[in-house]
Structure 1
Amino acid sequence: MVSHDLKTPLSNILALSSWLKESVENKDGDAIKTNAELIDKQVTQMDLIIQGVLNYSLQNDVSSNYEEINLDILVNDLAILFTNKNCIITVKSKLPIIEINKTKILQVFQNLIQNGIKYNNKELFEIEIDYKLEQNLHTFSVKDNGIGIEKKYHKKIFELFQRLDVNGMENAGIGLSLVKKIISRNNGEIYLESEVNVGSTFYFTLPA
């Protein structure tokens, strides 16, 4: 699967390089610019895949660098980072202090927030983060007002290299599989509720 996903942009780059040579020989400035931009996009896609594979492979050591993390501070800092005139992020409940790897739980929240922003066609992006404790489980939710996801894709999006093509956006198909792997290795679960053109809510649990 990895070799196939890397081979596709490589093959495209080879073809585009050939077209670029022809454009140079023909002194076609517009074609040169177009082909150069297309090559740049393919290289970006390869970089996304390679970085994603590296991040995914680094999740194998579940016990490394565990410490008490104040999620209320961590997530509110993230909210400030992503908030701007086009994006409002609200943390609705006080988040707990849990023992976990800081980098990995940061990746979880960051990926879910970024997805809510990236796959959004509204003028104002709205992200809501909530939390509750029940039956010895921490349950977190990240809700967005984005494009939504059809129910038939709810399981597929968590599989490695499975991606939905949305308006030509660059996507290596690794982000949500990375999130799921982190949650699973911490004995939790992740699932979602979604309505097309209304938005999605991702829920994940961790043992209390």
Structure 2
Amino acid sequence: MGTKEKAHIPSGTDIPIILIEDEAGARETLQDILEEDGYQVQAFEGGKKALQAIAHQTGGLILADILLPDIDGLKVLQLTKEMDPDSAVIMMTGNTSLQMAIDAVNKGAYAYILKPINMEELKVLLKKACREVRLFKENKKLVDSLQLTNRDLEAINRRLVSLNEEMESILHIVSHDLRAPLINIQGFSTKLSGLVEPSKSEELSTCIRFIHKGVEKMDALIQGLLRVARVGHKAYPFQENDLDKIVEDIRAVFDFELKDRSIQFIKPKKFPKIWCRKDEINQVFSNLISNAIHYMGNQPKKTIEVGFEETFDYFKFWVRDTGIGIAKKDMERIFKLFERLEEIPVKGEGLGLALVKKIVQRHDGKVWVESYKGEGSTFYFTLPKKVPSS
């Protein structure tokens, strides 16, 4: 018997069917009915030629007689699953080979159907098998996509490691090679100031003082930039910390300045424990409290309040003051490098709030300010309850 092969554009399914049936009349009838239903069918008399076609497809339907003239139907099943694991194989069998069909299902066949074929039953079975093959294909695409994404992430991680190493080299240069000349200049200017008698050369003494102050300012700027650059870089892991102790230690540091300026400091009786890098969150509160002190001005009521609110998944903290306040136009820029208000002369390089923002962001939080000119400011920031990802 010859082999009948047709190429048909499917209207009802995108899953191709390979039909293996040695009886010519049954084969042609099945092929015609299935193609009328929109299936793309290739029909074969024997299993060996069918296997050649199966080798060139992925994720198809195989409708095979379990008793074939040239190869055992179970062997066709085995080789098909080896070549195309995503395919669905339906075995056709007579009553005499029913046990073989059951064995086939146990070995990976999708299902079996008894001869003579009930076409309505076969159509229902094929639709179910098509859905399963589609799921196999979609799952495979998802797995392939995830593998590709993982490879991309691995490449990005390798690049980040490389960039971190480069950053470490830059930080080393800045902290050592750039600061070394400043230290030398500072040392020699100090020595010169000791050699010069102010009464004999006031102008030279003034120049030396300018050099000394310039060196101090440049060194402070470099140190500030290094603090910003090092946020989260080769940092200690996140740990659960007692915020009560952090805030109390900071209050103790500022205690003299608070009393000297007659500023009342208010805080809750109890702060929560939080997941954080202790030194960095210490820096956040220190910078915000220092900022509140320095921009308090000559307000009649001088108060700094530190507080918090708890939500389902994060804590919201604030540092509120009764100081000079911030104009609306300045609220965004104050978190940028080298930006500061000019209403009151304050020592520093304008890095404090930029550092606060970077630290909070590296803790998966947000920072913002609410303020009215002449009425004080409230700096808010959030920290998640779970361990931050950064």
Query: TM-score if structure 1 supplies the norm length?
Result: 0.78
Indicate if the aligned counterparts of 1:131 and 1:139 stay in contact, CA closer than 8 A.
Answer: yes
Partner of 1:114: 290
1:155 aligns with 2:332: yes
1:70-95 residue CA offsets vs partner (Å, 9 max, x unmatched)? 10121022213312322332113521
Distance 1:47 1:197 in 2: 34
Give aligned-pair identity as a percent.
40
Task: Quickly say closer, same or farther: Cα 1:33–1:194, change in 2 above 3 A.
Answer: farther
1:127 aligns with 2:299: no
Which structure has the greater CA radius of gyration?
2
Partner of 1:206: 383
1:177 pairs with 354, 362, 365, which one?
A: 354
Q: Which shifted more, 176-185 or 154-163?
A: 154-163
Partner of 1:59: 231
User: Aligned with 1:204: secondary structure?
Assistant: strand
Distance 2:295 2:204 in 1: 31
Distance 1:192 1:142 in 2: 10
Query: TM-score if structure 2 supplies the norm length?
Result: 0.44
Say which structure is richer in strand.
Answer: 1
Q: Return the offset for 1:203.
A: 0.3
Q: Return the offset for 1:174.
A: 1.1
Task: Please tell me the residue identity of whatever aligns with 2:348.
Answer: N
Task: Quickly say closer, same or farther: Cα 1:131–1:69, change in 2 above 3 A.
Answer: same
2:245 pairs with 53, 66, 73, which one?
A: 73
User: Aligned with 2:339: secondary structure?
Assistant: coil
User: Aligned with 1:193: secondary structure?
Assistant: strand
Q: Return the offset for 1:32.
A: 4.7
Task: Please tell me the residue identity of whatever aligns with 1:69.
Answer: N
Q: Return the offset for 1:37.
A: 4.2
Indicate if the aligned counterparts of 1:159 and 1:177 stay in contact, CA closer than 8 A.
Answer: yes
User: Aligned with 1:203: secondary structure?
Assistant: strand
Q: Which shifted more, 33-42 or 73-82?
A: 33-42
User: Aligned with 2:275: secondary structure?
Assistant: strand
1:88 aligns with 2:264: yes
Partner of 1:3: none
Task: Quickly say closer, same or farther: Cα 1:137–1:101, change in 2 above 3 A.
Answer: same
Task: Please tell me the residue identity of whatever aligns with 1:47.
Answer: D
Q: Return the offset for 1:57.
A: 1.2
Q: Return the offset for 1:127.
A: 1.1
User: Aligned with 2:320: secondary structure?
Assistant: strand
Indicate if the aligned counterparts of 1:183 and 1:189 stay in contact, CA closer than 8 A.
Answer: yes
Task: Please tell me the residue identity of whatever aligns with 2:215.
Answer: V
Distance 1:97 1:66 in 2: 12
Uncovered stretches (5+) of structure 1, i.e. residues with no partner: 1-5, 18-23
Aligned residues: 192
Q: Which shifted more, 195-204 or 62-71?
A: 62-71
Distance 1:32 1:119 in 2: 36
1:45 pairs with 204, 213, 217, which one?
A: 217
Task: Quickly say closer, same or farther: Cα 1:193–1:62, change in 2 above 3 A.
Answer: farther
1:93-141 residue CA offsets vs partner (Å, 9 max, x unmatched)? 5211011111011000000011111222137742110111024220000
User: Aligned with 1:98: secondary structure?
Assistant: strand
Task: Quickly say closer, same or farther: Cα 1:59–1:188, change in 2 above 3 A.
Answer: same
User: Aligned with 2:231: secondary structure?
Assistant: helix
User: Aligned with 2:374: secondary structure?
Assistant: coil
Q: Return the offset for 1:156.
A: 0.6
Task: Quickly say closer, same or farther: Cα 1:112–1:145, change in 2 above 3 A.
Answer: same
Partner of 2:278: 102
Distance 1:103 1:139 in 2: 19
User: Aligned with 2:230: secondary structure?
Assistant: helix
Distance 2:237 2:265 in 1: 29
Indicate if the aligned counterparts of 1:90 and 1:129 stay in contact, CA closer than 8 A.
Answer: yes
User: Aligned with 1:83: secondary structure?
Assistant: helix
> How much is the aligned-residue C-alpha RMSD, in angstroms?
3.2
1:140 aligns with 2:296: no
